[in-house]
């Protein structure tokens, strides 16, 4: 947990830099516009659609129309939030994270040599595949959201998994060799998930949540590069021919 706290402290310390704020605000504004657009043009359609499926149909037949509408609106907002967070995370992973990574690699982690290969293509494919799995998991677990408490827990766990699955690899694909990545993925599986869960919790705080996709990318870059630095025992690794 200490490594997670270190990554978070460095992430928020970076907010003193104007360039970092630029990287953070781009996905935030995109997410805000997307959420507003979905709410204006899609919420009503989602609610009407949900009212035609159980258990809302059962509630309506029992005369609990107000409860059916309440659950339908809750489900609609959760779907909008998940879609906005997913697309903002994709933007952060594919476009913003490489910029943050380049900035930090040239400043705070200049001693960590880049030993990966084809990072942009591999990272993009990883992010897209993680998004597909996230959507599948979201749809498969949707009936469980009606169980009291699970409507809060399941979105957190799904977002935590998405954060770890997307950003952990993307943050290291340029710098870690295949063997190093496999070692970090196995040995730091739980801390990486805890970092993803922490950022998922922050995503549910009003207004702060808009900043979370980019902050998540930044925190995983810090965690990944610091872990890689330690795994190399602080040695300055160079590549022949550079």
* Look-up of token digits 């040599």: 113
| pLDDT number for residue 118 | 66
For the question of whether the overall pTM of this predicted structure is more than 0.75, the answer is yes
Separation between Cα atoms, residue 27 and residue 135, nearest integer Å: 20
| pLDDT number for residue 240 | 39
By C-alpha distance, which of 26, 2, 1 is closest to 218?
Answer: 26
| pLDDT number for residue 67 | 84
CA distances from 154 to 39, 197, 238 (A): 22, 11, 44
Computed from CA positions of residues 193, 237, 101, 175, in that sequence, does the dihedral angle turn out positive or negative?
negative
Going residue by residue through the chain (242 aa), what tens digit of pLDDT does each one get? 889 999 999 999 999 999 999 999 988 888 788 778 877 887 888 888 878 877 778 778 888 888 888 888 877 887 787 788 888 888 898 889 999 999 999 999 999 988 877 667 888 888 899 989 998 998 888 777 767 677 778 888 999 999 999 999 999 988 998 899 999 999 999 999 999 999 999 988 877 888 899 999 999 999 999 999 999 875 544 443 44
| pLDDT number for residue 234 | 53
Separation between Cα atoms, residue 236 and residue 102, nearest integer Å: 18
Separation between Cα atoms, residue 30 and residue 215, nearest integer Å: 14
Computed from CA positions of residues 173, 179, 181, 182, in that sequence, does the dihedral angle turn out positive or negative?
positive
Q: What per-residue string of b and e applies to 194-208 under the rule 16 or more CB within 10 Å gives b?
A: bbbbbbbebbeeeee
**8 A C-beta contact, residue 119 and residue 235:** no
| pLDDT number for residue 226 | 95
By C-alpha distance, which of 214, 81, 209 is closest to 155?
Answer: 81
């Amino acid at each position: 947990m200490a490594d997670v706290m270190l990554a978070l402290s460095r992430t928020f310390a970076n907010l003193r830099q104007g360039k970092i704020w630029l990287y953070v605000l781009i996905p935030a504004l995109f997410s805000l516009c997307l959420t507003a657009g979905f709410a204006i043009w899609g919420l009503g359609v989602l609610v009407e659609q949900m009212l035609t499926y159980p258990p809302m149909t059962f509630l309506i037949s029992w005369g609990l129309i107000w409860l059916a509408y309440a659950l339908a609106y809750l489900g609609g907002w959760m779907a909008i939030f998940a879609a906005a967070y997913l697309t903002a995370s994709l933007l952060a992973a594919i476009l913003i994270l490489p910029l943050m990574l380049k900035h930090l690699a040239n400043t705070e982690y200049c001693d960590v040599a880049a030993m990966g290969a084809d990072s942009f293509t591999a990272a993009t494919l990883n992010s897209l595949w993680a998004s597909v799995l996230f959507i599948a998991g979201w749809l498969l677990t949707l009936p469980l959201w009606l169980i009291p408490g699970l409507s809060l827990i399941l979105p957190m766990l799904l977002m935590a998994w998405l954060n770890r699955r997307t950003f952990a690899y993307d943050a290291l694909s340029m710098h870690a060799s295949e063997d190093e990545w496999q070692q970090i993925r196995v040995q730091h599986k739980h801390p990486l998930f805890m970092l993803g869960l922490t950022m998922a919790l922050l995503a549910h705080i009003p207004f702060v949540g808009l900043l979370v996709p980019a902050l998540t990318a930044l925190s995983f870059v810090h965690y990944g590069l610091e872990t890689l630095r330690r795994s190399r025992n602080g040695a300055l690794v160079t590549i022949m021919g550079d």
